[in-house]
């Protein structure tokens, strides 16, 4: 039976005080291969990779390769592949859509307007995500409430109507940045080397920069836009 918004609210209340491994265990027990972890290899994502593979060594983990990622992101992907023995399921953008975008607007159109930036994110992230979630009953993200003004009310369980009315699970919603890094260090989890160069949040190479001391953690993502507009379309509400 298709879950409802009320189901998600009830589950979110029930799981609010559950720790991240308990939320992941609940997801694996209930959905098996029909739950997928989305990974872009940020600090939260590598924590989730470590946690979920301790529960299910064959957990389904997918990656959206936008074609514009940093080399350091591929490096941490490879270190995770070796450490955990995972076959990451990788989704690329539709070839003809990228070719058409570059032919009409060039390689850097995202700097010119919010519409152009959303168009690029739509082609390179949003459409591949739709394919990645096709047939899934739930997906897992590394979103946290402390990451952005757009995420302060993030529940641990929400409904994702954009992808057909499936559950979206945010096991680290209540974690602080300090907790994330304490976990990485205590468990020797591979992490993206860019974090050591002042990148708290890592996306595509042309749209991510290092931040200065005291700046918001998302200040380096699409830094030319207002904070309220800084979502790529992967986590929109519908
Ligand atoms: S983050 Fe930048 S390069 Fe990546 S998909 Fe969005 S606009 Fe395109």
| pLDDT tens digit sequence for 55-85 | 999 999 999 999 999 999 999 999 999 999 9
| pLDDT tens digit sequence for 45-62 | 999 999 999 999 999 999
| pLDDT tens digit sequence for 178-235 | 999 999 999 999 999 999 999 888 999 999 988 888 877 777 777 777 766 666 667 6
How far is ligand 1, taken at its centre, from the CA of residue 97, in Å? 14
Q: Which atom of ligand 1 is nearest to the CA of 207?
A: 2
* Structural domains of the chain, ranges and CATH numbers in brackets: 5-229 (3.40.50.620)
Angle at 78 between CA 77 and CA 80, to 5 degrees: 65
Q: What is the pLDDT of residue 56?
A: 97
> For this structure, is 104 an active site residue?
no
Q: Is there an atom of ligand 1 within 6 Å of 69 CB? A: no
How far is ligand 1, taken at its centre, from the CA of residue 1, in Å? 36
| pLDDT tens digit sequence for 16-43 | 999 999 999 999 999 999 999 999 999 9
Q: What is the pLDDT of residue 1?
A: 72
State the Cα–Cα distance between residues 70 and 59, nearest whole angstrom. 25
Distances, alpha carbon 182 to alpha carbons 68, 71, 84, 102, 110, in Å: 29, 25, 20, 42, 35
Angle at 151 between CA 149 and CA 154, to 5 degrees: 150
Q: Which atom of ligand 1 is nearest to the CA of 123?
A: 5
Q: What is the pLDDT of residue 48?
A: 98
Q: Is there an atom of ligand 1 within 6 Å of 204 CB? A: yes
Q: What is the pLDDT of residue 81?
A: 97
Q: Is there an atom of ligand 1 within 6 Å of 124 CB? A: yes
What tokens appear for 121 in the block? 């994110």
What are the start-end ranges of the H helices in the chain?
5-15, 20-31, 43-55, 71-84, 95-105, 114-121, 127-133, 177-186
Do 189 and 205 meet the contact criterion of CB atoms below 8 Å apart? no
State the Cα–Cα distance between residues 185 and 221, nearest whole angstrom. 25
């Amino acid at each position: 039976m298709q879950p409802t918004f009320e189901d998600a609210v009830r589950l979110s209340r029930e799981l609010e005080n559950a720790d991240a491994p308990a939320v992941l265990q609940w997801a694996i027990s209930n959905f098996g291969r029909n739950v997928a972890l989305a990974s872009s290899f940020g600090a939260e994502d590598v924590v989730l990779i470590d946690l979920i593979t301790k529960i299910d060594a064959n957990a389904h983990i997918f990656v959206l390769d936008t074609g514009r990622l940093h080399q350091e992101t591929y490096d941490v992907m490879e270190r995770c592949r070796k450490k955990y023995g995972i076959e990451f399921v990788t989704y690329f953008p539709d070839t003809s859509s990228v070719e058409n975008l570059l032919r009409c607007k060039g390689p850097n159109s995202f700097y010119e307007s919010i519409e152009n930036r959303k168009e690029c994110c739509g082609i390179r992230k949003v459409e591949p995500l739709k394919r990645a979630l096709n047939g899934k009953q739930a997906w897992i993200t590394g979103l946290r409430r402390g990451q952005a003004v757009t995420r302060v009310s993030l529940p641990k369980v929400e409904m994702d109507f954009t992808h057909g009315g499936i559950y979206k699970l945010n096991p680290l919603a209540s974690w602080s940045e300090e907790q994330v890094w304490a976990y990485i260090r205590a468990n020797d989890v591979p992490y993206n080397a860019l974090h050591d160069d002042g990148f708290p949040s890592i996306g595509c190479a042309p749209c991510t920069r290092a931040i200065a001391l005291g700046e918001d953690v998302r200040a380096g993502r699409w830094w030319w836009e207002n904070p309220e507009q800084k979502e790529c379309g992967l986590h929109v509400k519908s």
